[in-house]
Amino acid sequence: MSEVEFTLPTVQYGNVKVRATPEELGLEGVGDAAALGVATATYLNLFQQGFKHGAAMDVDAHLGTPQGAPEVQAQELLDEGLGGVTEVPEYKVGDTVTVGGIEFTKHGEAPWEAKVDAKPKPWETGTQAPSAPAVKLSADW
């Protein structure tokens, strides 16, 4: 028993693979390549029309989300996930903080706030980079 598999393009990284027997595609077998191509192209065309129609529909998925006002849900999730913490206090270098049973020590500023002691690049100063001396080529080269 033979099986035919082809991929239907939908959206980026979201292709659909179809696996069917030739009989399910309305063919007698896979011996006639032209008939298989017509069946595949017809299936692809109808699939794309259906996909466009489905993508244009206004649908609402009920995935078992908790009921209630969004503001109430958001506040409940914040209270559960953060243990009621609403503000992060300021800490100084050397302070030790315990979060979830793990101790952290602040060692310095965040990398993006630290000062960098680096010489500016030529393209940052607006000056021209030094050019290499001209090289003379001889006929022997």
Q: What is the pLDDT of residues 8-44, one digit of tens each?
A: 888 777 788 889 888 888 888 888 888 888 888 888 8
* CA separation for the pair 96, 104 (Å, rounded): 6
Q: What's the pLDDT score for residue 4?
A: 86
Q: How confident is the model at residue 2 (pLDDT cuts 50, 70, 90)?
A: confident
User: What is the DSSP-derived secondary structure letter of residue 62?
Assistant: -
User: 3-state class of 75 per DSSP?
Assistant: helix
The model scores a pTM over 0.85: no
Task: Please tell me the predicted confidence (pLDDT) of residue 18.
Answer: 87
